[in-house]
Structure 1
Amino acid sequence: MRSKIILLSIILATASAKAQYFQFEVGGGLAKHYGPSKVVGSYKIGVGYEYEFNQKWTFNPQISFYGKGWKKPDETMLVFNEDGTPMMNVETGEQYTTVKSVSSTAYYLEIPLLVNYYIRTAPSQYIVLSAGPYAAIGVGGKQKTKGDSDATGARRLYYTEKTFDIEGAHRFDAGLQVGAGFQFANGLTLGAEADFGLLNVKSGGSKNVSALVSLTYKLGK
């Protein structure tokens, strides 16, 4: 019953909106996991629909194709022969080592539900502050591994796996999106935004975090 009341409230609020605008958005930046992981490139492309309640407040649902990812810290590993015995350097008498490198891309269909607050700075020009929850489903991606001495054969050098087919991976993600931007008189907004994941996207406690610089064009302005 509570969810029906909330849904009805949203429908009534959007129905009473004074103006509605269609928008396109593209962005690029960086992504990683919380903690010691390293950053990788990130990007998004999406569309949205903005419902204007008054000159300051709007409701802005969107849908985006969002490329996120992460890179694990490099790991030094001992090298063993195929029979399990240590692979030794005959000159130094020390066991060979290798550096294991693991990087991942994760592609999502993401739906943020944003509330925007507009601060007028000049005629038809505004500072825009945004915040709201998002939900996302993983639709693809690849994990690349180099220098894995625990693997066998050619996989010791390099192999790939599908990100969401790896044991322990979770396709569903959700969190909070926040942003700020400047809207010009022609309807173009230059902004910065960040996603803070609240769910583990794989076993072990990893959560997504990303930050982008974005361009949004609002039709009808």
Structure 2
Amino acid sequence: MKKMTFSLIVAMLVAVTSVSAQQLYLGVKGGVNLSNFSGDLDNADAKVGFNIGLAADYEFMFNHAIQTGLFFTTKGAKYEGDLGDVSGKLTMNPMYLQLPVHYAYKLDVAPGTRLVFHAGPYMAVGVGGKVKVKASGSSAEVSDDFFQDGAFKRFDAGLGLGVGAEFGPLLVDLGWDMGLTNISDISGVDAKNQNAYLTVGYRF
């Protein structure tokens, strides 16, 4: 009887500890992007953009978490030089709603401070953006919708990885998203998004 009681108490303590270790945190994050293309469009120059959104962090056990959220992010690239028969500048600025799902391992380095290593897939849907062309020596600028001219697909997916830090409720994150989906809708042309980002955030 004593052994059974002791075993029951241990089982209850394990269960309570397990439940108490599970935490869901919500927060906001935003920062800067440095994006480009790989594939047949890899001769482009990187372009600076931004990201902002809502983040969710579910710690399902001690120092292990699933990180996700919904982010508005810009990607794309820019070219400068010969554009067919003219010389000028071409800027491609697609905008996406992006949903990452990352596994994260958190390493305690000081009281209230943890390093966070995370990786996992992402999915994104294009919601807008422009392709701007400006010829050298001219003040005129031609602008077209990035997704509605038949050249690019709206769906994007790939893998991401990063490293960050938690300073109490304050968050800092440095990461890289590697597109695995060909976003070009032109036959014979392969183009994939590549995007590095630096974000700061606050966790509630």
Q: TM-score, normalised by structure 1?
A: 0.75
1:101: Cα distance to partner?
2.3
Among 23, 26, 32, the alignment partner of 1:22 is: 26
**In structure 2, what is the equivalent of residue 183 of structure 1?**
166
Tell me the equivalent position of 1:115.
103
Structure 1: runs of 5+ lacking an equivalent: 1-15, 79-97, 149-153
Question: What is the aligned-residue identity percentage?
Answer: 29
Change (3 A) 1:99 1:130: same
- 1: CA distance between counterparts of 2:70 and 2:128? 16
Aligned to 1:31: 35
Give the counterpart letter for 2:141 in structure 1.
Answer: Y
Query: 3-state SS of the aligned residue for 1:74?
Result: strand
Point out the structure with the larger strand share. 2
Deviation (angstroms), 1:179? 1.1
The answer to whether the 8 Å contact 1:77/1:99 transfers is yes
Shift, 1:184, TM fit: 0.7
Is 1:63 the equivalent of 2:70?
yes
| CA positional deviation for 1:55 | 2.1
1:213 aligns with 198
CA contact (8 A) 2:28 2:55 kept: yes
Residue 27 of structure 1 aligns to which amino acid in structure 2?
Answer: G
> Which of 114, 122, 125 is residue 126 of structure 1 equivalent to?
114
Q: Tell me, what secondary structure is at the counterpart of 1:52?
A: strand
Give, in angstroms, the shift of residue 217 of structure 1.
1.3
| 1:101 has 2:89 as partner | yes
- Aligned partner of 1:109: which letter? L
Cα distance in structure 2, aligned partners of 1:176 and 1:77:
34
Q: Which amino acid aligns with 2:199?
A: S
Answer yes or no: is the 8 Å Cα contact 2:33–2:75 preserved in 1: no
**Aligned equivalents of 1:54 and 1:76: distance in 2?**
54
Q: What runs of 5+ residues in structure 2 fail to find an aligned partner?
A: 1-18
**Following TM superposition, by how much is the alpha carbon of 1:73 offset from its aligned partner in structure 2, in angstroms?**
4.8
Deviation at 1:200, TM superposition (A): 1.3
Following TM superposition, the consecutive aligned residue runs of length 4 or more in structure 1 with deviations greater than 3 angstroms are none
User: What is the identity, as a one-letter code, of the residue corresponding to 1:30?
Assistant: L
How far apart, in 1, do the equivalents of 2:54 and 2:69 lie?
Answer: 6
TM-fit CA distance, 1:74: 2.1
Cα root mean square deviation, aligned:
2.0
**Secondary structure of 2:61's partner?**
coil
Question: Offset at 1:52?
Answer: 0.7
Distance 2:22 2:150 in 1: 49
- Is the counterpart of residue 164 in structure 1 residue 171 in structure 2? no
Contact kept, 8 Å, 1:36 with 1:73, in 2: the verdict is no
In the other structure, the counterpart of 2:8 is none
CA contact (8 A) 1:20 1:52 kept: yes
Please state whether the residue corresponding to 2:147 is helix, strand or coil. helix
Alpha-carbon displacement from aligned partner over 1:2-58 (angstroms, at most 9, x marks no partner): xxxxxxxxxxxxxx6711111111111311112211111121111122111222210
